[in-house]
Structure 1
Amino acid sequence: MRNQRVGSKSGKIAEINYLRGFSILAVLAIHTTGYFTKITPYRTLALLAIWTDVFSQFAVPLFIAISGFVLAKNYRQGFSLTQFYYKRARSILPQYMIFSALYTAFNYWGDMRSSSFSANLKRIALSVWHSDASYHLWFFAVIIQLYLAYPLIIKGYDFFKARNKSEYFLAGMLIIQVLWMVGTHTSYANVIKVNAIAYLFYFCLGIYALDKFETLKDLSQRLTPLWGTMSLLLTFGASFFIVIGLTTGHTYDEIPPYFTTGAELVYPVLRLVTFLFIWNLAAGLTIKRNVLAKFMARLGDYSFGIYLIHLFFNQVTIRILSNHQIGPSQWLFYPIVFTATLILSYAGVRLISFLPFSYYLIGFGHSKIIKREGTNNVKE
């Protein structure tokens, strides 16, 4: 992977793949440390898990920003809407529908065994429609909505850019996103399922990052400790609202909405600072050829497949640990679940990649050369 500049429509940018690698590690961390909600009574282990979980929440916003970046790189002006939507559908719908069916069977196999074929087919169809076959598949509802809106978004962005006011457009998206997220903690907006609005700013930030790519390339590596420190401090600040809720006697699911409203004002700043921190880490890997750099690059290649498949291994590992009386209240639980999920997911995606038509399962394949068309959340 060569460290290339933006210039060629099809040119690959090494930093993007490393960003994917960091993001998928954060996804695994979220789905491991998220079990802090099961820790009773509240103690130090829960606090560390909360901090890790809140910090790792940059994962999906960064995937969204990568999507905006690569879509803008490949589809800017004069592109065919028919071809655009065809390629977007091909890049995510087969994988989404297949894994929705698999996770539905995985999670409801006991009920499905005693149900009719038509009833099971209806259950699968509803899980696809509601994006709830597994709790991580909600992301596909967001990315599909953003794909649908992209032609309109890029027209709006370029309208402002032509007048040297692209920052105004970005600020407007930020205001809409924050107001939307605050509204979801009220009884007025939390029933509306246009979830993509919660990620509009990050998606447009990716487009803006493409235009400012040369500036990003010139960021000083000396600032990496500063971005990291700021990210940690903001993580503690955003976690404060959850911690107060838990220490005042609430369980996580019972924390009043107004506790988390304040955090929504902190999150965009936290994400932006964390993006800069992760970007600098990715840029540093592009000049190295050590084992870590190679592993992170391959992790970026496999990130889409790992995102799809990892919950199988996550849940199986947790069930096995439960049978051995190891649960979320024990320190050993977290490193075992994270490590097992990472290793098994990586190996699983690599094996699947050699199968025929693996692109339609995990978005990646070794069996034949597949031209990469545009992007989804983790593919360029």
Structure 2
Amino acid sequence: MKNQGAQAKTEKIAEINFLRGFSILAVLAIHTTGYFTKVQPYKTLALLGIWTDVFSQFAVPLFIAISGFVLAKNYRQNFPVTKFYVKRARSILPQYVIFSALYTAFNHWQEMQNSSLPANLKLIAESIWHSDASYHLWFFAIIIQLYIAYPLIIKGYDFCKARGKSEYFLTGMLVIQVLWMVGAHTSYANVIKVNGIAYLFYFTLGIYSFDHFVQLRAFPKSLTPIWGTMSLILTFGASFFIVIGLTTGHIYDEIPPYFTTGSELVYPVLRLVTFLFLWNLAGSLARSRNFFAKVMTRLGDYSFGIYLIHLFFNQTTINILSSHQIGPNQWVFYPIVFTVTLILSYAGVRIISYLPFSYYLVGFGQQKVVKR
């Protein structure tokens, strides 16, 4: 097992970049198909939106797992904790603060024009503190918490691993995560839903995957269709609870908690199977190096920046389509929003990457690719 970690530590792992590419495409899909909640009356278009949205929800868990993998690759035993925190803060806080300010202005421009400078600064500060300048920035609250907890998590994991019990530690994280998420959907534990605890299993799974890197890479590619089929079946299963809630007359935001509780029990299995499916696809791309592989590599490079800026283009595109009476009830809405958002986000990050200090804006520069 030690040799597996040593091999993974010294080589560039192309599969990780492809997984980042898959994840950012899924993020764009979520922020496009999520408008199925606006489809009235409930019909086939909404059903396809639900299935796509539920499947694509692997995006953030996979980003979290990748973070666990990369941290385990670079920071293991006896690493300087203070230096670790400084580097992690540098890799995420400048971008988070800058884009929180930009999205606050983007979403509250009229209000801010009529407010004083102190009031606007207070609004920006509150948006940074609450991670709500834009609805996708909740990711930063999660990853910051996991970065803070990493030294403790890796010590606990390595303690169990030294005794041949790493699977027990991983299972414990799964139990904590599921209990937390089930509790978050009940009136008895109506706590903050967006929290690092809700992703502990995926983060630890990334660490565990690093330790089993060679075994993962040896997975037979003949299993790819099986993993894909299982992922689709589980997607339909997890969606079932939402569909029932909608077909019984509930508005999406008002579906009773007992519907979503069932989904939370399915999600970890669905994510794990989807991860295996995508890992096999990434392995195939790493060997082929065709045009699609090159595109996915570049998307992986730019994934952090695309995540940061894509909602500017997403919301602007939706507003323009709305002014032309094209909305979520029409099929053409979804491919237009997804395609335009992807192209403009990719182009935007590429342009920004040529600017001085682009690392502090989008985590990427022409002379430096940031590995997270």
TMscore range, shorter length: over 0.9
Check whether the contact 1:67–1:203 (CA below 8 A) recurs between aligned residues: yes
After superposition, give the CA deviation of every residue in 1:138-197 in whole Å (9 maximum; x if it has no partner).
000000000000000000000000000100000000000000000001123322467000
CA distance in 2, matches of 1:165, 1:187: 35
Aligned to 1:312: 312
Report deviation, 1:6. Answer: 5.5
The answer for the alignment partner of 1:245 in structure 2 is 245
1:140 alignment partner in structure 2: 140
Mapped partners of 2:234, 2:210: distance in 1? 26
**Amino acid paired to 1:370:** K
Contact 1:183/1:190 (<8 A) preserved = yes
Partner of 2:208: 208
Q: State the SS of the aligned residue for 2:163.
A: coil
Take 1:302 and 1:192, find their aligned partners in 2: how far apart are those partners? Answer: 30
- Is 1:35 matched up with 2:35? yes
Q: Which residue of 2 aligns with 1:370?
A: 368
Cα offset for 1:289? 2.0
Question: Conserved in 1, the CA contact under 8 Å of 2:38 and 2:328?
Answer: yes
Superposition deviation, residue 265 in structure 1: 0.6
Task: Give deviations 1:32-67, integer Å, cap 9, x for gaps.
Answer: 000000001000000000000000000000000000
Cα separation, 2, equivalents of 1:265 and 1:235: 12
Superposed CA offset, 1:9-29 (max 9, x none):
463210000000000000000
- Asked whether the equivalents of residues 181 and 193 of structure 2 are also in contact (C-alpha less than 8 Å), the reply is no
Q: How many residues align?
A: 369
Name the structure with the higher helix share. Answer: 2
Partner SS state of residue 7, structure 1: helix
Distance 1:54 1:371, change over 3 A: closer
Which residue of structure 2 aligns with residue 198 of structure 1? 198
Q: Cα–Cα, structure 1 residues 41 and 199, in superposed 2: closer, same or farther, change >3 Å? A: same
1:45 corresponds in structure 2 to 45
Report the CA distance between 1:290 and its aligned residue: 1.1
Letter in 2 for 1:151: P
TM-score by length of 1: 0.95
Alignment of 1:250-269 (within 5 A): 250-269=250-269
The CA deviation at 1:288 is 1.1
Cα distance change of structure 1 residues 8 and 165 upon mapping to structure 2, 3 Å threshold? closer
- Give secondary structure in 1 for the equivalent of 2:187: coil
Q: Could you give the per-residue CA deviations for residues 248-278 of structure 1, whole angstroms, max 9, x where no partner exists? A: 0111011101111011110000000000000
Letter in 1 for 2:255: I
Q: Report the equivalent of 2:22.
A: 22
- 1:232 counterpart letter in structure 2: L
Deviations 1:341-369, CA, capped at 9 Å, x for gaps: 00000000000000000000000001xx3
Q: Which amino acid aligns with 1:138?
A: W
Give the 3 Å change call, closer, same or farther, for CA 308–319 of structure 1 in structure 2.
same
Q: Secondary structure at the match of 1:132?
A: coil
- Partners of 2:138 and 2:194 within 8 A in 1: no
Q: Read off the aligned partner of 2:107 and give its amino acid letter.
A: N
Post-superposition CA distance 1:116-139 (Å, at most 9, x none):
000000000000000000000000
Aligned equivalents of 1:41, 1:32: Cα separation in 2: 19
Distance 1:82 1:40 in 2: 53
Is the Cα–Cα contact under 8 Å of residues 68 and 204 in structure 2 kept in the other structure?
A: yes
Aligned to 1:60: 60
Distance 2:82 2:163 in 1: 29
For the Cα contact (< 8 Å) 2:246–2:252, is it kept in 1?
yes
- Which residue of structure 2 aligns with residue 85 of structure 1? 85
Compute the displacement of 1:7 (Å): 2.5
In 2, distance between residues paired with 1:249 and 1:151?
47
Q: Gapped runs of 5+ residues in structure 2?
A: none
CA RMSD of aligned residues (A): 1.3
Whether the 8 Å contact between 1:10 and 1:74 is mirrored in structure 2 is no
CA distance in 2 between counterparts of 1:246 and 1:180 reads 25
CA distance in 2 between partners of 1:371 and 1:345 (Å): 17
